[in-house]
Chains A and B, each alone.
Chain A
Amino acid sequence: MSLQQFINEAISPWMQENGPDSDIVLSSRIRLARNFEQVPFPILANQEDLDHILDFFQQEYGQQSFGNYHQFELVRMNELQSIQKRVLVEKHLISPHLVEHSNHGAALISKNEQVSVMVNEEDHIRIQLYFPGFQLEKALKQASEFDDWLEEKINYAFDEDRGYLTSCPTNVGTGMRASVMMHLPALVMTQQINRMIPAINQLGLVVRGIYGEGSEALGNIFQISNQITLGKSETDIVEDLKSVVQQLIEQERNARKRIMDQSGVQLEDKIFRSYGILSNSRIIESKEASKCLSDVRLGIDLGYIQHIPKTILNELMILTQPGFLQQYAQKNLSPEERDVRRASLIRERLKLENNL
């Protein structure tokens, strides 16, 4: 398979589009947790019940279309190889939980991969809907419409006082988790982010690095989402998140401008050194790769680098994850082999741009 072909398969079509504020907000997501009223939650349901749900989804929604989302395909976990599952996780189409815990799990995925419904994860139904850039309201509207579409045929577990009933008490109520993925290199460079995270946490929102373990944010990519799902309406939750994200965007833009004004050459040097590393290294660990990718992406946003498209950060962050590297290599790889493959994949990818 050629690299270009591989990339086309690896990057969800919706990711290729640019959304509003996409210099800082990479994507917006709405997730809704829903359950069947009559069936125990996956944690306690018996196998027949779960299989029954899978069959129901296949029958009712397989190959169906809704609005802009066409040809839903039900992908069953037990029919995939482990690398294939890992690839779906790295594309954020399914969760690690679905892979680890469920022999009866599946995902109903639209052709453009903008909608993915996890079936028999922690809850029977987890609707996920993505938009490029900063488009939370649009994502909420469409997720809600999609939810209505599913509800035409499903009796949801719902209680007037408690709202949508979920397996975990942290999701009850709206069952909604709204989140944005943000690239915040300047706030990290100026260390402002360390002051901001605790403040954001106090507002009932959660900030975490999306790649990497614990609090470390590889590639300076952060995910910001709501913590509270009960007692606030979907619109209010999204409004609150939106206002914080807007402030973060502003702060990040100011910080970028300040760094450019105060130490433009140093910044330019840092960016081009990282570009040099990416285009020349023969061995590269994911940590270094993501740091350099973040620098290069910043260089593109600030106009220092002009011949590379913006989507490179998102794209290569995903492509250089272990699952994708191994799928591209068509075999299992040791960590050292991966570092070599990663370096060569990034070099090839950058070469594609230079040849244009």
Chain B
Amino acid sequence: MECQECHQRPATLHFTQVINGHKKEVHVCEKCAYEQGYMSQNSESFSLPNLLSGLFNFDSYPMSQSKNQTSSYEAPPKLQCEKCGLTYDEFTKIGKFGCAKCYKTFGEKLNPIFRRVHSGNSVHDGKVPKRMGGDIHVRKQIEEQRQKLNHLIRSEEFEEAAKVRDQIRMLEKQMNSEQGDGDQ
């Protein structure tokens, strides 16, 4: 089938247009589709970063109707990452961080964003790198045991709870001795 606009190239795009209830079949080549406005050049207008930045803006000023208002509402001094130079405004526009430091720079402001993207979560609960992790491993373990302890106390299983408590003490000792090495 040839393109109904230029009658030269083959029609590679086929769609049905419905305008005010009138149905019209359209068969065009890609070039004409852009030129005649059947397709928008900017296919990225519905891309993830755009959708994300929508979320962020919504977040920073829920009722936002005018742009000016939003920016005046946002706290001056401008938040900018000292390592890569990305500002918080830029971050909300592109929906991407510039470097690892950005996470610290934007800090608490990120919590609502993470919660939105990750079903209410804002704190990591998974793997810790082996080598770099240092005492994070132990601290995570202590945290886990503490939760278990609370749970046991609530359900009045005191014998189990005592065991867990001892374990926590042991872990804490282990951590302190590692840290203490330098001081002594």
Contacts and interface: CB of A to CB of B under 8 A. Distances in A.
B19 to A, nearest CB: 22
Nearest to B116: A169
29 contacts: A35-B100, A40-B83, A40-B98, A41-B97, A41-B98, A41-B99, A43-B94, A44-B86, A44-B98, A144-B127, A148-B130, A151-B129, A151-B130, A151-B131, A152-B131, A159-B100, A159-B104, A162-B123, A163-B124, A168-B96, A170-B48, A172-B124, A228-B118, A230-B117, A230-B122, A230-B123, A231-B118, A232-B121, A233-B125
Contacts of B124: 159-164, 172-174, 230-231
Contact of A41 (B12, B96, B118, B120): B96
B146 to A, nearest CB: 16
Given A170-B117, A174-B126, A232-B126, A160 B98 contact: no
A231 B86 CA distance: 26
Given A144-B127, A230-B122, A231-B121, A335 B52 contact: no
Nearest to B133: A158
A151 B132 contact: yes
A186 B111 CA distance: 42
Given A161-B124, A174-B124, 12 more contacts: A41-B97, A41-B98, A157-B99, A163-B124, A166-B97, A168-B52, A169-B113, A169-B114, A204-B119, A228-B119, A230-B121, A231-B125
| 3 residue pairs, one from A and one from B, having the closest CB atoms | A231-B121, A163-B124, A157-B100
Interface residues of B, number: 40
A152 B131 CA distance: 7
A340 interface: no
Contacts, number: 127
Given A165-B103, A174-B124, A336 B10 contact: yes
Q: Per DSSP, are chain A's interface residues mostly helix, strand or loop, or mixed?
A: loop
Contacts of A39: 99
Nearest to B97: A167
A51 to B, nearest CB: 17
A37 interface: yes
A173 B103 contact: no
A208 to B, nearest CB: 13
Interface residues of A, number: 44
A166 B118 CA distance: 14
B175 to A, nearest CB: 14
A231 B122 contact: yes
A165 B123 contact: no
Contacts of A246: none
Given A230-B122, A230-B123, A335-B12, A40 B128 contact: no
Given A167-B96, A230-B114, A162 B10 contact: no
A43 B103 contact: no
B6 interface: no
A309 B163 CA distance: 57
B58 to A, nearest CB: 14
A169 B136 contact: no
A111 B164 CA distance: 48
A328 interface: no
Contacts of A113: none
B110 interface: yes
Contacts of A157: 99-100
Interface string B99-113: 110011000001001
For B121, B123, B125, B127, which residue has the most chain A Cβ atoms within 10 angstroms?
B127
Given A158-B132, A234-B127, A228 B121 contact: yes
B159 to A, nearest CB: 28
Contacts of B125: 163, 173, 231-233
A286 interface: no
Nearest to B136: A160
Contacts of A168: 48-49, 52, 95-97
For B49, B128, B130, which residue has the most chain A Cβ atoms within 10 angstroms?
B130
B170 interface: no
Given A167-B96, A170-B52, A174-B126, A230 B132 contact: no
B131 to A, nearest CB: 6
Interface in A148-190: 148, 151-152, 155-170, 172-174, 176
A155 B130 CA distance: 11
A173 B129 contact: no
A114 interface: no
A5 to B, nearest CB: 32
A160 B125 CA distance: 9
A163 B124 CA distance: 5
Contact of A169 (B110, B119, B133): B110
B99 to A, nearest CB: 4
Nearest to B85: A44
B153 interface: no
B162 interface: no
Interface in B2-26: 10, 12
A37 B100 contact: yes
